[in-house]
Structure 1
């Protein structure tokens, strides 16, 4: 005997309501809990109303899955203690500017993994006490997601991007990154990630670590003046490094330079100094951390060209 029509309609409405916040997908277990068993799922699929997306994922429509639905599918298909993590979790938290389209899932290292199209599974040694506390989509909080994304990144530059963007976009803070990193250091890039977090958080102490003057001397350049003074619009301004004889200056921007309107004020200041005759090469601490030699190449080239121009 088939299920009564009114009961079938009620179950269908319940399933639709449950799937709505998940962009139209549910797991077979979710459907069973609602009273929709395997036979009823198969009936909807055969009728062309629903569509299967793996062993465990059922879409209550036949269209393409949205990014949110893909994330839920990654959790459903991975089973175990699966959580959306890394870049995918950052995107779910609202971080923009990330182009990775696969779904990153973390699993406890004792869980079994299998090949799932469009899903990358990462085993983690342990879970933090509060990393599964967010409502809705099972995902790690932004700070932990940023740390793991940096650990799983394909390059140091990509790792820096995953740490910088959520702080710049106010999804998390450098302080939260620091605390989370003290709780979960991970296995890859431990030292680099710690340095990057310090650069993002403050940067003042990092200038000593990244002192360019010895490196410039090794490149054959004369010793420059540190904290050279300029008068701009009646105010005293300081240049981090300057070769006074040729008017070449270097400015290294810490985290404070990206706060509020500081970028705007820095541009006004640099424009005024340039109009006064100095040429300024700028780099932030993150860029200096990741591309130190590339920046030094630019400095050496600028020094050579300005020196040649002065002689000419």
Structure 2
């Protein structure tokens, strides 16, 4: 019997469970308690399934219709259910749900509008955000923010500048969005401590990679008391002319600036051939990712100084 004293027949109970099973198949094996009750399952029947260990609880508002390991997609749906009707995965959690690879999150971040109670639990992080908007929500699949919006928010919430730059770069690199779309999403951020960094990274992704990187290297060298390099020096190779990003001919040192385009398949072979030609010409080649300029400049320029010293440069006494 249910809480009002109505008993389901075995046939009705089987029909209800079949309906819930079909729903769960679309949600990583999980249904919300609200979905279970809406399908006709009584609270008593739900408790019976849990006591018999046919099903298992997921946080406070979801049920997994098996007792094996919870699927990632099921955890995502359950996290959203914890936040209520207007909840959506956000930030890095939304990126993972949208297909981001080679990245893991410690907890499922869920955004809810003002007025909804935040929740914390093992593997769960439900928070209110003033930037919540229904227009940012993906229309299909697990409720989540659109990739460009998620990337920008993930960067603002990141634990470090390095992680922020990575979260802006990976979705573009993996083809989940475009740099231009991330740039448009970034325009909505009026105030944030990382706003300047994020604009710099997105500018690198959108274009102007070489010129921006070369200017930054020259600026950093002046600030650190290192000799200013030559830029866009022409060399001739087996297949014609090619350009070096920055070099110090007198000290046999070349720095190749790697933007995101250097990770694309179409660039891998030409870049390798060019680097080999330079090395065969007795120059040292250092690689400087643009992200390195943003998050680890001191480490990279310490290597540049070592390369210059190895080539014969020394600071004036």
Q: TM-score, structure 2 length as denominator?
A: 0.90
The residue that corresponds to 1:114 in the other structure is 119
Among 87, 105, 115, the alignment partner of 1:82 is: 87
For residues 247 and 61 of structure 2, the distance between their equivalents in structure 1, rounded to whole angstroms, comes to: 63
For residues 99 and 281 of structure 1, the distance between their equivalents in structure 2, rounded to whole angstroms, comes to: 30
Aligned residues, how many? 309
Q: Secondary structure at the match of 1:229?
A: strand
For residues 13 and 123 of structure 1, the distance between their equivalents in structure 2, rounded to whole angstroms, comes to: 35
Q: Is the 8 A contact 2:214 2:231 kept in 1?
A: no
Q: Secondary structure at the match of 1:261?
A: helix
The residue that corresponds to 1:269 in the other structure is 274
For residues 87 and 106 of structure 1, the distance between their equivalents in structure 2, rounded to whole angstroms, comes to: 12
The residue that corresponds to 2:235 in the other structure is 230
The residue that corresponds to 2:154 in the other structure is 149
Q: Secondary structure at the match of 1:52?
A: strand
Counting only pairs closer than 5 Å after superposition, residues 1-312 of structure 1 correspond to structure 2 as 2-79=7-84, 81-184=86-189, 187-204=192-209, 207=212, 210-233=215-238, 235-307=240-312
Q: Is the 8 A contact 2:213 2:290 kept in 1?
A: no
For residues 255 and 5 of structure 1, the distance between their equivalents in structure 2, rounded to whole angstroms, comes to: 60
Stretch of structure 1 that moved more, 14-23 or 110-119: 110-119
Distance 1:23 1:225, change over 3 A: closer
CA RMSD in angstroms, aligned pairs only: 2.2
Distance 1:10 1:278, change over 3 A: same
Q: Secondary structure at the match of 1:115?
A: strand
For residues 13 and 242 of structure 2, the distance between their equivalents in structure 1, rounded to whole angstroms, comes to: 75
Distance 1:66 1:210, change over 3 A: farther
For residues 136 and 103 of structure 2, the distance between their equivalents in structure 1, rounded to whole angstroms, comes to: 22
Consecutive unaligned residues of structure 1, counting only runs of 5 or more, are none
Q: CA deviation at 1:184?
A: 4.5
Q: TM-score, structure 1 length as denominator?
A: 0.91
For residues 129 and 8 of structure 1, the distance between their equivalents in structure 2, rounded to whole angstroms, comes to: 36
For residues 274 and 149 of structure 1, the distance between their equivalents in structure 2, rounded to whole angstroms, comes to: 39
Q: CA deviation at 1:37?
A: 2.1
Consecutive unaligned residues of structure 2, counting only runs of 5 or more, are 2-6
Stretch of structure 1 that moved more, 129-138 or 17-26: 129-138
For residues 223 and 188 of structure 1, the distance between their equivalents in structure 2, rounded to whole angstroms, comes to: 31
Q: Is the 8 A contact 1:134 1:140 kept in 2?
A: no
Q: Secondary structure at the match of 1:22?
A: coil
Q: Secondary structure at the match of 1:242?
A: strand
The residue that corresponds to 2:4 in the other structure is none
Q: CA deviation at 1:145?
A: 1.1
Per-residue Cα deviation, 1:111-150 (whole angstroms, up to 9, x for no partner): 2113222112232113345222421211111111111111
Q: Secondary structure at the match of 1:183?
A: coil
